[in-house]
Amino acid sequence: MTEAKQILKKYYGYDKFRDGQEEIIDKIMQKQDVLGIMPTGAGKSICYQIPAILLRGITIVISPLISLMKDQVDSFAQLGVNVTFINSSLSYIQYQNVINNTKKGMYKIIYIAPERLDSEGFIDLIKDLEISMIAVDEAHCVSQWGHDFRVSYKKIANVIEKIEKRPTVVAFTATATPIVKEDIVKLLKLEKPYIVTTGFDRKNLEFKIAKPNKKLEYLTKYLNEKSGKSGVIYCNTRKNVDMLTTKLNEMGIDCVRYHAGLGEKEKTKNQEDFIHDRHQIMIATNAFGMGIDKPTIRFVVHYNMPKDMESYYQEAGRAGRDGDYAECTLMFHSSDIITNKFIIEQSEEIANKETLYEKLNEVVNYCNTEKCLRQYILQYFGEDTKIDNCENCSNCKNEFEAKDITLEAQKILSCIKRMDERFGSGLVTDVLKGSKSKKIIQLGFGNLTTYGIMKEYSKESIKEVISYLIAEQYLRLSGNEYPILQLNQKSYEILKGECKIEVRLEMKKEEKSIKEKGNIEDFDINLFEILRELRKELAREQNVPPYIIFGDVSLKEMSKYYPNTEDKFLDINGVGRNKLEKYGDIFVKEIQKYRIENDIRD
């Protein structure tokens, strides 16, 4: 592994590998198939890029999004390695140039969209190439059980079989339940793969559940506290994206939007502006993000509840890819459940609807659990964890007081029982509130002893308790399109008074300020801002995203250690030999100037 470590330092500027990287690279160099399940930010790309540099021949990387390919090609250009991509963004002449240069052996890596795999031109090309490895990124897309299933991914195994000398095949994904993992191995036809799961935990991410009565007011305050930082806000519909973008811009909060209903020109421009830090905030549907490699996103907010835990963790995981502190906030409202159910009913995946509803219920439970949020996520993905208090999620960090809601729970459960366990939370809530709606009168529910027994409570409060009872399995949700509430064994224990229920009410959440946090402490914020501007200027000149020059973590280290020689500059994480040659002189001079002006000595 000496050569691999030399490459790691020379090209990437790191002295040691992250968890799982070294063993994966070792297996690839031994020509063994690999399946790597590694969280976002764990460095999956390095696992196939270093072997690609070391191995004879060409590596083909199958990647789902054009933005990711361009990002990777730009990054490699900074490292001094020739790579290219093949996708729909190329003109015919550009495509022919890539083909001709490939035949001349100019590239070590070719990124290709899965939709282009079975084209005659590409099949003819690979017949004459020495292909050492095929790497499949976002491998969960091959499975119908995955949250981003793509039919084009099913072509991959057939294309590999057409290569005369079968290359090593490696697959990577950030999130995979056990059934998705099995599908990846089977559908990509991996041969006795070495399977490594480095763990799903992202320790640098703080997870939060927020239940504000006024979402927009809460979000506005949050964004003002995050001024100057890059973030993504996810909405569940295009309409919500457009509404939120308009309202925030009217309030003077600069943001752009992204969803499938926009023209390609606007989508491309907005994405480029966000990646290049020309706009700090992106508001988007789930159409935005997969393959976005921007490591300096400091927060992700879900304005609406996502459809499943896989989507949530994938989207939230786009924050803090550089390993520095970032926040992931999910804003929950019961109306989001209704919207997501409507989206499921409009889905063409009729046979899979029951699974979609089950996945949605998991997210509802996540939003209502009192347990550690990190523990909930890790256990969902099948990771055995003993975490009781991670000290980095809203359930673990905030102060709570216990409130006994046994009486409220008994009233709700009793009402459900008297309604013959045939109705959903909406109608149950109306009966408890004493609604005089036509339906309630027709069904005779006005005569029930539980009619109006919670009229002093708001509908939201009643639904909150119902959601909690479901999340903690004191109630069973049955059915799909129109789910109904049913009692279970735990329900009767509550009704009989055999146990009591206490919920934790969060205290002083709105009074807590969001502090500046990070993995690198005591760095010089003034120098950091100067270096950020220098980075931005260089990026503008080269028309690349600023993080391609250096990541925030590298700039923070520079702002802590004040490297004033090339050797000291090379000691900074993320500074390899190539970047030292390109940028060392510029940054060292800026740091030296700052040291002199501020009388900073070794």
Q: What is the CATH number of the domain that holds 531?
A: 1.10.150.80
Local structure of residue 17 (DSSP, 8 states): P
Q: Is the per-residue pLDDT at 345 higher than 90?
A: no
Q: Does 517 reside within a domain?
A: no
Task: Quick: pLDDT tens for 493-513.
Answer: 999 999 888 876 554 433 333
- In contact, 170 and 36? CB cutoff 8 Å: yes
**% of the chain exceeding 70 in pLDDT:** 94
**Are 117 and 12 members of one domain?**
yes
φ/ψ of residue 33, rounded to 5: -60, 150
On the CB side of 557, how many CA atoms lie within 13 Å of its CA?
Answer: 16
DSSP SS3 for 155: helix
Residue 593 has a pLDDT of: 94
* Verdict on whether the full-model pTM lies above 0.75: no
Q: Taking the chain, what is the end-to-end CA distance rounded to the nearest angstrom?
A: 36
The residue range of the domain holding 502 is 402-506
Query: Over 60: is that where the pLDDT of 53 sits?
Result: yes
The DSSP secondary-structure symbol of 139 reads: G
Q: How many domains does the chain have?
A: 4
Q: What is the pLDDT of residue 218?
A: 94
Which residues, including other chains, have CB under 8 Å from residue 230's CB and lie 6 or more apart? 274, 277, 280, 281, 294, 296, 297, 298
- Tell me: do 294 and 443 sit in the same domain: no
Residue 538's pLDDT is what? 95
Helix (H, G, I), strand (E, B) or coil at 204: coil
427 half-sphere exposure, CB direction, 13 A CA radius: 21
Note the pLDDT tens digit of each residue in 406-458.
999 999 999 999 999 999 989 999 999 999 999 999 999 999 999 999 999 98
Same domain? For 315 and 378 the reply is yes
Length of the chain as a residue count:
602
Nearest CA to 366 out of 222, 374, 116 is that of 374
C-alpha 10/C-alpha 577 separation (Å) is: 5
- Cα four-point dihedral sign 52, 58, 59, 63: positive
Kindly report the average pLDDT of the chain as a whole number.
87
CATH number at residue 421: 1.10.10.10
Quote the pLDDT of residue 409. 94
Same domain for 413 and 358: no
- CA–CA separation, 17 vs 4, rounded Å? 10
| 377 & 414 share domain | no
Given a cut of 90, is residue 291 above it in pLDDT?
no
Q: Is residue 153 part of a domain?
A: yes
The amino acid sitting at 46 is I
Q: Which residue has the higher pLDDT, 472 or 360?
A: 360
Residue 42: pLDDT band with limits 50, 70, 90: confident
- The CATH number given to whatever domain includes residue 283 is 3.40.50.300
Q: What pLDDT score does 504 carry?
A: 64
- Domain assignment present for residue 450? The answer is yes
pLDDT for the residue numbered 510: 34
Three-state DSSP state, 531: helix
